[in-house]
Structure 1
Amino acid sequence: MKLSVLKHPATAIALAAIAGVVFGLLVGDWASNLKFIGDAFIRLIQMAIVPLVMASVIAATGSMSGSGTGKVALRTFAWMIGLSAVAAALAVALGLLFRPGVGMVYTGAIDPSLRESASEATGWQDTILGFFSTNVIESMAEAAMVPIIIFSLLFGVALNQYGRTSNSTVVLTFIEHLQQVLLTLIRLVMYVAPIGVFALLAALAGDVGLAVVGSALAYLGTNLLGVVILTVVFVAVVTLRTRLSPLKLPRKLAEQTAVAVTTTSSAVTFPTVLRNTIEKVGVSPRIANFTLSVGLTMGSYGAVFNYTIAVLFLAQAGGIDLTPGQIVFGMVLAILLNMGTITVPGGFPVVAIFLATTFGLPVEAAGLLIAVDWFTGILRTFLNVNADTLVAMLVAHADDEIDRDVYDGTVPVPEEEEEEGASTS
C-alpha cells in the first residue's frame, strides 16, 4: 500500500519538485544547465494543447442535441464570468484592507523589451476584436486560444447541423478518436513528468533563490489568503449545489494540482485536468470537453485575482490613491486580460507593465511583482485549474451529467489505473 502511494503520479511529481528546489539551492547557478530538460518536457505537452482543445470543443458541440449547446454554453459563461467578478471583488477588498504595496521598494532593472511588448497592447475594443481570427492557422501557430475556441465552437455547431441533415457521423467520430489519441499521447509524456519538474525547479532555485521572497511577503501573503478564501467559497458553492462530499475532492484533484503548482501553467495542466474531471470526478465527456476547454482561457480566476491585486499594489507602492471608477475599471481590465493573455508561464511580466502604464503607476514597482512571479504563479495556477473542474461540476449538475458512482468511488477504476495499481502491490 505504501509503495503504491509513493508511485502515485502526484506523489512522484511532488517529491521531484522538492528534490529539484533543494538541488538548485545547493549547486546554485550550475543548475541552469538542466533547464533545457524541463523546457523539453513543457514543449512535449504544449505541442498537443492546440489540437486537443480544438478536438475537445468540436467533439462537445458537435455531439450535442437540440438546444443543449446553447444551454451548456450559457451556464458555462455565466459561472465563469460570475466567479471572475467574485475573484476581482475579493482582490479589491483584501488589497484595500492589507495594503501590500505600502512601503515597497525595488531597485532591480526592468527588461526594456517588456516595455515595448506592453506598449503594443491595445484598448478593450481591440482586445475583443482580437478574439475573432482572420486566419485560424495563424492563430494555431501562435497558440491564440480565444480565437481557436471561437472557431472550434462554430465548427462544432456547423458539424452538428451537418450531422443532423446528412445522418453522417464520420467527421465527428474521427475527431472523437483524435481527441483520445492526443490524450494517450499526453499520458505517455506524463511518465517523464517528475524528471521535467525536477529540472525546471532546480534551474529556477539555482537562478532566483529564495531571498527575494522576503521583500514581497505582504504581496505574496495577500495572494495566498485570497486563493484560500476563493477555494473555500468555490468548493462550498459546489457542495451546496451538487450535494457531493467535498472530502473526496483533494484526492481526485491531487494529480492536476501537482502538475499545476510545479509547471505554473494552466495549458500544460489542461490534459490532466480533462482526464481527471471525466475519470475521477465523473463529469460527462461532453460537458468536460466544452467547459474545460473554454475554462482554459476564460476560467483563470487566480489570474483575475492576481491582476487586480497588482493594480492596487502598484498604486500603493507609488502613493497613488485610485478613484472608485479606476478600481472598477481595473477589475474589468483584469477580467479582459484573463481572457486575452496566454496560459503558459511567462505571460505575467507583460501584464504587469501594461497595468502600470495604463493607470500611470510606477513601472519600477512592477519589478518586484515580476521577481516573485513564479511564487504567485503557483497560486494562480492552483486556483485556475481546480476551479475549472469545480465549474464543470456545476455545469454538469444542471443536466444531471455527473456520474455519482464514479465520484463516490463505487465503480471500478479505469483499466489503465488498475494495471498500475497491480504493478505496485
Structure 2
Amino acid sequence: MRTLRHPAAQIAVAALAGVAFGLLAGPWAANLKFVGDLFIRLIQMAIVPLVMTSVIVATGAMAGTGTGRLALRTFRWMLGFSVVAALVAWALAQAIRPGEGMVFTGPLDATLQEPAGSTTGWQDTITAFVTTNIFEAMSTATMVPIIVFSLLFGVALNGYVARTGKTLVLDLFDQLQQVVLALLKLVMHAAPIGVFCLLAALAGDVGFSVVTTALKYLGTTLLGVLVLTVLFVAVVAVRARVNPAALPRKLAEQTSIAVTTTSSAVTFPTVLKNTVEKVGVSRRVANFTLSVGLTMGSYGAVLNYTIVVFFLAQAGGVELSATQVVFGMALAILLNMGTITVPGGFPVVAMFLASSLGLPVQAIGILIAVDWFTGIMRTFLNVNGDTFVAVLVANAEGELDRAVYNGQRQAEAAPEQVLELPQPQTGGVTTS
C-alpha cells in the first residue's frame, strides 16, 4: 500500500484503470473527456509564465562570461542528440521499411491541407522564431519566439544587474517562478483523475484496433526510442561518471506523466523539480537547459518525424535521392525546434513533411490514427533526453551534485535551498 502513495504509482494505476474502463464502457466513456481536458488546460495555462520566468532567471542570474558558455554547451548536446536521433531513424527505416505494404484507402481530413499549405519553407520557419508581438506569442503559446524573447530579455537583465547592482527585477521573476511551480504542484494532485478520464475516453473511442493497422511503423518508432535511450544513458554514464542503474528510479515520475499525457509541456514542471531534487543538477543549469530543451530538445520528435518521411515515401513507392534524404532529416531537426509542445501538432507536421518532399499525403491518415501511441514514445524520449542533457551540461559546468544523485542527501528546487556543489576533480571530464 505504501507504493500507491507515490505519485508515479498512482498515475500508472489510473492509466491502466482508465484504459480498462474505456474498453468496457465503449463510446460512453467519451463523456469523461472533458474532465481530462480540464486537467490539461490547468497545466497549460501556467506553462508560458513558467518557461519565461525560468529562462529569464537562468540567463539574468549568470556571470557575464557564463551565459555564452552554458548556452553553447546546451545547444551542442541538443544538436548532437538530434543528429543521432535522425541517423538512427534513417537506419531503422531502411532496415525495417515500415511503409511497405501499407495502403491507405480511407478519407483524409481536408482541413489539414490549409495549415500545411501555409508553411512555405525553412526560411519562414526560421523567421517565425522571432515574433513581432510577444503578447500575441504568449496568447497562442508559440514557444520558440517566447524562448527567444526570454533569452534576450535575460541577457539584457544580466547586463543591467551587472551594471547597476540592482536585483529587484531579477528577484521578482525568481519569485514568480516559485509561485507558478507551487500552483502546478497543486494541480498535479489531480493528475490521477485527469489521466483516468483522458485514457478512458481514448480507449472507448478507438480501442486497440488502431495499433494493428500500423504495427511496423509503431515497432520501428519503439525500437528507435529504445536504441536512443540506451545510447543517451551510455553517454551520460561515461561523460558524467554516474551510475546509470540509478536513473530509472529518478525518472519514474516524469516518465509516467509523459507517457500518459503525451505532452512535454505538461511534464515540464515535474522534470524541472526532479532534475534538481533527485538527479542533482544545479538550479541554474536546470532552469536554462530544461526550459530551452522544452522546445528545442525533442529527440523523440526528430526520430518520429524522420521515420514519417521514409514511411510516406515507402507507402507511396517514392525513391528518395540522397539530397532528399538529407533534406528530410534536416527538416525533422528543424521542426523539432518549432513544434508545439502539447498534443495535437502531429498532423500539421506530417502534412508539412509530405508537401516539402513531394510525398503522398493520403498515407498520413494511417499515421494520424495511431499518433497517440507514437506520441507516448516521442514524449518519453523528449523529456528524459532533456534531463540527460542537463546532467551533461551540469557536469561540464561543475554543478552536478553527486551526493544528491547518489541519494546521500536531498536537495530542494526552491531558491532558498543552496546546493553544495562538488569541486571539479583533477583529471576528470570538465568540458563537453
Range of TM-score over shorter length = over 0.9
**Cα separation, 1, equivalents of 2:104 and 2:36:** 29
**Cα separation, 1, equivalents of 2:182 and 2:248:** 24
Question: Aligned match of 1:189 in 187, 190, 193?
Answer: 187
2:423 match = none
Within 5 Å, give how 1:7-406 maps onto structure 2. 7-406=5-404
The TM-score, its normalising length taken from structure 1, stands at 0.96
Q: CA deviation at 1:66?
A: 2.8
**Cα separation, 2, equivalents of 1:211 and 1:95:** 23
**Counterpart residue identity of residue 98, structure 1:** I
1:87-112 deviations in whole A, cap 9, x for unaligned?
Answer: 00111111011101000022222111
Classify the secondary structure of the residue corresponding to 1:340: coil
Q: Answer with 348-357 or 239-248: which moved more.
A: 348-357
Asked whether the equivalents of residues 98 and 220 of structure 2 are also in contact (C-alpha less than 8 Å), the reply is yes
1:33-74 deviations in whole A, cap 9, x for unaligned?
Answer: 000000000000000000000000000001101310000000
Asked whether the equivalents of residues 273 and 413 of structure 2 are also in contact (C-alpha less than 8 Å), the reply is no
Q: CA deviation at 1:208?
A: 1.1
**Cα separation, 1, equivalents of 2:386 and 2:97:** 29
Classify the secondary structure of the residue corresponding to 1:281: coil
Q: Answer with 223-232 or 334-343: which moved more.
A: 334-343
**Counterpart residue identity of residue 133, structure 1:** T
Q: Answer with 350-359 or 42-51: which moved more.
A: 350-359
**Cα separation, 2, equivalents of 1:134 and 1:116:** 23
Alignment length (residue pairs): 414
1:307-345 deviations in whole A, cap 9, x for unaligned?
Answer: 000000000001111011100000000011111110100
The TM-score, its normalising length taken from structure 2, stands at 0.94
Asked whether the equivalents of residues 214 and 366 of structure 2 are also in contact (C-alpha less than 8 Å), the reply is yes
**Cα separation, 1, equivalents of 2:143 and 2:411:** 32
Q: CA deviation at 1:349?
A: 0.9
**Cα separation, 1, equivalents of 2:340 and 2:211:** 25
**Counterpart residue identity of residue 271, structure 1:** P
Within 5 Å, give how 1:405-420 maps onto structure 2. 405-412=403-410
Q: CA deviation at 1:413?
A: 6.2
**Cα separation, 2, equivalents of 1:360 and 1:26:** 42
Flag the structure with higher helix content.
Answer: 1
2:419 match = none
Q: CA deviation at 1:174?
A: 1.0
Q: CA deviation at 1:4?
A: 2.3
**Cα separation, 1, equivalents of 2:152 and 2:187:** 31
- Kindly tell me: are residues 398 and 126 of structure 1, through their superposed partners in 2, closer, same or farther at Cα, counting changes over 3 Å? same
In structure 1, runs of 5+ residues without a counterpart are: 417-425
Asked whether the equivalents of residues 64 and 159 of structure 2 are also in contact (C-alpha less than 8 Å), the reply is no
1:128-165 deviations in whole A, cap 9, x for unaligned?
Answer: 01000111000101111111011101111111111111
In structure 2, runs of 5+ residues without a counterpart are: 415-432
**Cα separation, 1, equivalents of 2:413 and 2:165:** 33
**Cα separation, 2, equivalents of 1:4 and 1:238:** 31
1:334-359 deviations in whole A, cap 9, x for unaligned?
Answer: 01111111010000011112212222
**Cα separation, 1, equivalents of 2:305 and 2:253:** 26
**Cα separation, 2, equivalents of 1:349 and 1:26:** 29
What is the root-mean-square deviation in Å for CA atoms of aligned residues? 1.1
Q: CA deviation at 1:364?
A: 1.2
**Cα separation, 1, equivalents of 2:104 and 2:201:** 23
**Cα separation, 2, equivalents of 1:298 and 1:88:** 14
**Counterpart residue identity of residue 252, structure 1:** K
